[in-house]
Amino acid sequence: MARIKVFDTTLRDGEQSPGVNLNQLEKIEIAKQLERFGVDRMEAGFPASSQSEFESVKAIAKTIQNASVTGLARAKKSDIDCAWEALQYAKEPRLHIFLATSPIHMQHKLQMSPEKVIETACDMVAYAKEKFQQIEFSAEDASRSDLAFLAEITEKVIDAGATVINLPDTVGYTTPAEYGALFRYMKENVPNIHQVSLSAHCHDDLGMAVANTIAAIENGATQIEGTINGIGERAGNASLEEIAVALTIRNNVYPYHTNLVLNEIKRTSDLVSKLTGMVVPANKAVIGKNAFAHESGIHQDGMLKNASTYEIITPEMVGIHESDLVLGKHSGKHAFSNHVQSLGYTLSEEKLTEAFQAFKSLTDCKKEITDEDLFTLLTDVQTVS
Ligand code: KIV
Ligand code: ZN
């Protein structure tokens, strides 16, 4: 099974989520948890963006022992120097340089000709190589770039010293078939591509970040980038926990694995949510409050007979204690009876039917029935003879 390297960017692209601002202690706490989670590479921040960001990256570089610590830099000497100042203390320092390659970005944002973009990218990778052994070059907005141009700049930055080539879907525009084809094209058209790792970095503007990342893996990506809980610019980045679980659950079809410790998912997700203040939506795949909750009677009955009827992931796999059979208006008698027993009540068949009817009436006015509601209801049923 091919090993996929995981590049976590929760502390950089994730922190770019509007309204999120992590202080140094919070960043270190998350970095340590990412290390426990087993990420191979973590992007600690963008050192040149502010003094406090610089200090945070430096502190993370000094702390983390079991992952390569990375910092982001524009294709500018001052950014690269600043990143080195912060990252030189890391066990395995890594630089992430980015420069846009799409016509839209080159013309409107950079106001540079394609030739100048190639020259700048190569000069800055060569400059960085004097300090860093590991250099990732990101062709920003790769998915909207001209393929021949992308192949040309890639070949040249590899010659200049890049060790990883990242092809970001910066604006979450692409689809799985297109993104997969992009990786295939690069493998077939860049003569020195075998010297580097190819990386996928997807945004979720059209809700396809995870699917696009998996398509990239199928077509030659050996590194994936993403964030915990999928936080990030606009609609966010690919959720690392979703990709890791998808590869594990579907490894009959996708023979790839990561080194992530899946039962650390819940703890990592909770920590990131608490410190960023970004609440995980209840229906979020893998980690949302409802991901292991079942309300309808038919589903609850199936679950009580065999959990694999309605769960493809076990809660334990991702560090969640157990599934939840929620009592609500769709619940059936089987789940109700089970719950009543778990609260310590043993009812005759007649009393159980009576209690179930009372419960159903209660669901007409309450969405979710709590244990407190049940205690009241069961006491009433038991005291009426
Ligand atoms: O989405 C993107 O293009 C980025 C780059 C900096 C890699 O985050
Ligand atoms: Zn990004």
Looking at residue 368, its pLDDT comes to 84
* Pocket-testing residue among 11, 76, 98, ligand 1, by greatest number of atoms within 8 A of Cβ: 98
Ligand 1 proximity of 227 Cβ (cutoff 6 Å): no
Q: Which ipTM score applies to this complex?
A: 0.99
Output the CA 273–ligand 2 centroid distance in Å. Answer: 19
Ligand 1 proximity of 174 Cβ (cutoff 6 Å): no
pLDDT tens track for 333-385: 999 999 999 999 999 999 999 999 999 999 999 988 999 999 999 998 877 65
Residue nearest to atom 6 of ligand 1 (CA): 98
Looking at residue 367, its pLDDT comes to 85
Looking at residue 101, its pLDDT comes to 98
Ligand 1 proximity of 41 Cβ (cutoff 6 Å): no
Mean pLDDT by 10 residues, the chain (385 residues): 97 96 98 98 98 98 98 98 98 98 98 98 98 98 98 98 98 98 98 98 98 98 98 98 97 95 98 98 97 95 97 98 94 94 94 96 91 93 71
Output the CA 169–ligand 2 centroid distance in Å. Answer: 8
Residue nearest to atom 7 of ligand 1 (CA): 138
Looking at residue 9, its pLDDT comes to 98
Torsional class of 20: left (φ above 0), alpha (ψ -120 to 50), beta (otherwise)? beta
Q: How many CA atoms lie within 13 A of 233 on its CB side?
A: 11
Output the CA 71–ligand 1 centroid distance in Å. Answer: 12
Q: What ligand 1 atom has the least distance to the C-alpha of 72? A: 6
CA pair distance 127, 125, nearest whole angstrom? 5
The DSSP code sequence of 137-183 is: EEEETGGGS-HHHHHHHHHHHHHHT-SEEEEEETTS---HHHHHHHH
Output the CA 170–ligand 1 centroid distance in Å. Answer: 6
Torsional class of 207: left (φ above 0), alpha (ψ -120 to 50), beta (otherwise)? left
Calculate the alpha carbon distances from 284 to 123, 179, 209 in Å.
43, 24, 14
Ligand 1 proximity of 225 Cβ (cutoff 6 Å): no
The DSSP code sequence of 190-229 is: -TTGGGSEEEEEEB-TTS-HHHHHHHHHHTT--EEEEBGG
Q: Is 380 annotated to bind ligand?
A: no
Looking at residue 384, its pLDDT comes to 64
Ligand 1 proximity of 46 Cβ (cutoff 6 Å): no
Looking at residue 22, its pLDDT comes to 97
Ligand 1 proximity of 199 Cβ (cutoff 6 Å): no
Residue nearest to atom 4 of ligand 1 (CA): 170
Helix intervals (H) in the chain:
24-37, 51-63, 77-87, 103-104, 114-129, 147-160, 176-189, 209-218, 240-249, 265-276, 297-305, 333-342, 349-365, 371-383
CA pair distance 198, 142, nearest whole angstrom? 13
State the burial class of residue 288 (Cβ atoms within 10 Å of its Cβ: 0-12, 13-18, 19+): middle
Residue nearest to atom 2 of ligand 1 (CA): 170
Q: What ligand 1 atom has the least distance to the C-alpha of 138? A: 7
Sign of CA dihedral 292, 209, 247, 90: negative
Q: What ligand 1 atom has the least distance to the C-alpha of 141? A: 3
Ligand 1 proximity of 170 Cβ (cutoff 6 Å): yes
Q: Is 189 annotated to bind ligand?
A: no
